[in-house]
Structure 1
Amino acid sequence: MTPPPTPASGLAGLPDTELLKLDHQVCFSLQAASRAFGGVYREALKDLGLTYPQYLAMMVLWEHGPLPVKTIGERLHLDSGTLSPLLKRLETAGLVRRERSPEDERSVTVHLTDAGAGLRERALPVPRAILEATGMSVEEVLDLQRTLARLTESLGRAA
Structure 2
Amino acid sequence: MDQILNQLGGLVLGSVPTMVLFILLVAAYGLLVRRPLDRVLAERRARTSGAIEQARRAIAAAEAETAAYEEKLRHARVEIFQMRDKKLKQWNAEREAALAQVRQQTHDRVHGAKQEIEQSAHEARLQIAGMSEELSSRILNAVLPAGVHAAEVAQ
> Greater CA radius of gyration, 1 or 2?
2
Q: Structure 1 or 2: larger helix share?
A: 2
Larger relative contact order (C-alpha < 8 A, sep ≥ 6)?
1
**Structure in which a larger fraction of residues adopt strand:** 1
- TM-score computed with the length of structure 2 as normaliser: 0.20
TM-score where L is the length of structure 1:
0.20
